[in-house]
């Protein structure tokens, strides 16, 4: 008896042989599978451009408000002014009342209050009061344009890496932290502030010195 394996049956007309996908076909299948992912990434990028860079986790405080102040010392920080002329940190502000304002040029409430902040700063220049603006999620050119447009005379800097945002626990803009002479956070203001309200706050603080 012949134990040799049977020969393969010949292919009949119309029959086909299954072959592994070619390299080109595998690439096409991969691209097809990744298309939804690419579309999602493109949509997110488009949304970021349309929101002028706002990452979405940062709220815009449209209405004036105030939250309880912690009373704790302000976290350590150091920022360099836009012109690179001076570094502002905890020690540089010690001995003065300080208003640290977190803002962005694309933020409508920030633009709405800009003139009032600039005017009150000029009124209190001879008092032991300092304003420091800290622009976040913004571009240098836009920040400089804002400062020039609203004639902002107080020092401004950019928190490029978000270190101050994290340290202070900023959740929206505009958001202001008022420090006493010892560097403790005594007021936390959210949303735009009027000249009258800001004058009242500063006068109350200065009256405590008397």
Question: Which tokens is 208 given?
Answer: 């405590």
Res. 100 pLDDT band, cuts 50 70 90: very high
Q: What pLDDT, on the 0 to 100 scale, is given for residue 21?
A: 53
Provide the pLDDT for residue 183: 96
Asked if the peptide bond before residue 174 counts as cis, ω within 30 degrees of 0, the response is yes
pLDDT level of residue 16 (50, 70, 90 thresholds): very low
> Who has greater pLDDT, 9 or 97?
97
Over residues 52-68, mean pLDDT: 77
Cα–Cα separations (whole angstroms), residue 165 to 102, 110, 198: 8, 16, 22
Mean pLDDT of the chain: 83
User: Residue 150: pLDDT above 70?
Assistant: yes
Mean pLDDT value of segment 93-122: 97
What's the rounded Cα separation, in Å, for the pair 152 and 202? Answer: 18
Q: Which pLDDT score is estimated for 35?
A: 54
Structure confidence at residue 84 (pLDDT): 84
* pLDDT recorded at residue 34: 63
Assess contact for 183 and 90: CB atoms under 8 A.
yes
């Amino acid at each position: 008896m012949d134990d040799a394996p049977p020969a393969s049956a010949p292919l009949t007309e119309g029959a086909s042989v299954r072959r592994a996908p070619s390299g080109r076909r595998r690439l096409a299948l991969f691209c097809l599978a990744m298309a939804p992912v690419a579309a999602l990434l493109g949509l997110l990028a488009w949304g970021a451009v349309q929101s002028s860079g706002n990452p979405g986790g940062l709220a815009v405080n449209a209405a004036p408000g105030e939250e309880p102040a912690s009373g704790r010392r302000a976290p350590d920080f150091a920022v360099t002014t836009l012109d690179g002329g001076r570094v502002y940190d905890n020690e540089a502000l010690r001995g003065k009342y300080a208003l640290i304002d977190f803002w962005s040029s694309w933020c409508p409430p920030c633009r709405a209050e800009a003139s009032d902040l600039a005017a009150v700063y000029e009124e209190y220049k001879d008092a032991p009061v300092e304003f420091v603006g800290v622009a976040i999620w913004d571009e240098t050119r836009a920040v400089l344009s804002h400062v020039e447009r609203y004639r902002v005379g107080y020092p401004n800097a950019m928190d490029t890496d978000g270190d101050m945002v994290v340290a202070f626990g900023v959740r929206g803009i505009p958001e202001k932290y008022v420090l006493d002479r010892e560097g403790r956070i005594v007021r936390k203001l959210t949303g735009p502030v009027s000249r009258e309200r800001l004058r009242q706050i500063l006068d109350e603080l200065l009256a405590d010195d008397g």
